C-alpha cells in the first residue's frame, strides 16, 4: 500500500499521462516497482544520479537523487504503456 503522499503523486502522474486514476491493481504494481527501484538505487546511488542527469537539464542539487530516480522509473513505466500512446 502506498502512503498518502505517494498515492497522490501516482494519481497525478496517471491523470497527466492517461487522463484517469490508476486502478488498485496498478497502484499495487507500481508501488512495488517504486519500492524495488528505491531499494536498488539506495544500494547504488551513483546509478540514481546517472539516471536523473540524462538530458539537457541537470537535476536540481537539492532533490534526493534516489527518490527522484525511483519516481522516474515509475513514470517511465507509465509512459511505456500502450494506453499512453494509443487512445481510443
Query: pLDDT (tens digit, 9 = 90+) per residue, 6-41?
Result: 899 999 999 999 999 999 999 999 999 999 999 999
End-to-end CA distance of the chain: 30
Burial of 9 (0-12, 13-18, 19+ CB in 10 A): middle
pLDDT for residue 58 is more than 70: yes
Higher pLDDT, 83 or 30: 30
- CA dihedral for 7, 72, 21, 31, sign (positive or negative): negative
Against a cut of 0.75, is the pTM above it? yes
Number of structural domains (the chain) is: 1
**C-alpha cell at position 35:** 519500492
- Specify the long-range contacts of residues 3-8, CB closer than 8 Å, at least 24 apart: 6/31, 6/34
pLDDT for residue 1 is more than 80: no
Which domain, by its residues, includes 17?
Answer: 4-85
Is the Cβ–Cβ distance between 69 and 48 less than 8 Å? yes
Mean pLDDT value of segment 45-64: 90
Q: What percent of the chain has pLDDT over 70?
A: 94
Amino acid at each position: 500500500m502506498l502512503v498518502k503522499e505517494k498515492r497522490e503523486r501516482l494519481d497525478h502522474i496517471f491523470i497527466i499521462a492517461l487522463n484517469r486514476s490508476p486502478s488498485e491493481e496498478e497502484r499495487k504494481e507500481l508501488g512495488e516497482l517504486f519500492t524495488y527501484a528505491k531499494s536498488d538505487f539506495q544500494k547504488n546511488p551513483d546509478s540514481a544520479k546517472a539516471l536523473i542527469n540524462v538530458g539537457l537539464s541537470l537535476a536540481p542539487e537539492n532533490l534526493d537523487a534516489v527518490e527522484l530516480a525511483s519516481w522516474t522509473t515509475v513514470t517511465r513505466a507509465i509512459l511505456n504503456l500502450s494506453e499512453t500512446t494509443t487512445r481510443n
